[in-house]
Amino acid sequence: MRDKREFVIEADYTNKRVDKFLSKNNDDLSRSYLQELIDDDKVLVNGSPVKKSYKLALGDKLELLVPEPEELEVKAENIPLDIIYEDDDIIVINKQPNLVVHPAPGNEDGTLVNALLYHCDNLSGINGVIRPGIVHRLDKDTSGAMVVAKNDEAHLNLTEQFKERDTKKVYLTLVEGKVKYKKGKIDAAIGRDPKNRKKMAVTSKNSKKAVSTFKVLKRYTKHSLVEVNLETGRTHQIRLHMDYMGHPVVGDELYGYNQKTLDVKRQMLHSHLLGFYHPRTGEWVEFEAPLLDDMREVLDSLE
């Protein structure tokens, strides 16, 4: 056990949720990691594990058990990376399509993490064995700019920026049909699809606020090239919001049309620009990822 942290609950924190108390009083640990510790029974109140919704009472004795980082078991692989920028704290890459970000059961190798382990001597260990350095992610078939943390300090700083929406995330996507409006805003909450647990959905039930702004860059005969700026970062947000507008992302087999209108092998979605405050210097930085050949060729064919 790396360390054991103990608290006695005072009047100011009575009737407060245990997860919010822990987040406020453990600045070196991310909120998502603390919630994982709660789920793993590493948070005890009066000697017993509790759920994250537990309401604290005056005099409660709270123990937080922070385990030692697990030894990394994911193997390094010599997978080419398109590196846009790198220093002692971060790596920014232009992720290629058909690349899963981190290993999962049934998909233990050939991922971005395997590639990063080959390229780097060290990565942040905050997200554990299978997600070292991973601050945010892109879908397997989404290309473009991603930032990875090389140490825990950078990881915590970047995680907080993404949580507080202090980052800038601009995407380019080719969608079905001619989008009527030149620009607009989509404010439609997203939650788990109650009919299919593998999908998300625009829904008012058990959902979180999701906001995207868009600008049409070019209209083709049967398609539109759209720039999308994310104000929130929900799972599959752009794909869902575009489909919600009636203009699904070309090549999106989960939310888009069943019949392909273009000969594409993946969804036409690209993380074009990523901006954030550098975790060490505090300077605002922006990184642009050029379109990859497959998406560029599709756009050229529409001209």
Q: How many domains does the chain have?
A: 2
- Asked if residue 170 and residue 34 are part of one domain, the reply reads no
**pLDDT tens digits for 238-283?**
999 999 999 999 999 899 876 678 989 999 999 999 999 999 999 9
Q: Which residue has the tokens 């971060």?
A: 90
What DSSP assignment string belongs to 219-263? E-SSEEEEEEEESS--TTHHHHHHHHTT-PBTT-TTTS-SS-SS-
Strand, coil or helix: 298: helix
- Asked if residue 91 and residue 51 are part of one domain, the reply reads no
39 carries an active-site annotation: no
- Asked if residue 55 and residue 120 are part of one domain, the reply reads no
pLDDT value at residue 161: 95
pLDDT value at residue 27: 72
147 and 91 Cβ atoms separated by less than 8 Å = yes
**pLDDT tens digits for 158-199?**
999 998 999 999 999 999 999 999 999 999 999 988 887 778
Alpha-carbon span 285 to 166, nearest angstrom? 12
Annotated active-site residue in 19, 89, 139, 141? 139
pTM equals 0.76
**Phi and psi for 118 in degrees, rounded to 5?**
-70, -40
**Phi and psi for 136 in degrees, rounded to 5?**
-145, 175
The domain boundary, picked from 66, 91, 113, lies at 66
**Phi and psi for 271 in degrees, rounded to 5?**
-80, 100
pLDDT value at residue 221: 95
Range of the domain at 195: 83-301
Query: For residue 202, is it within any domain?
Result: yes
Residue spans of the chain under pLDDT 50: 1
Q: Give Dmax (Cα) for the chain.
A: 70
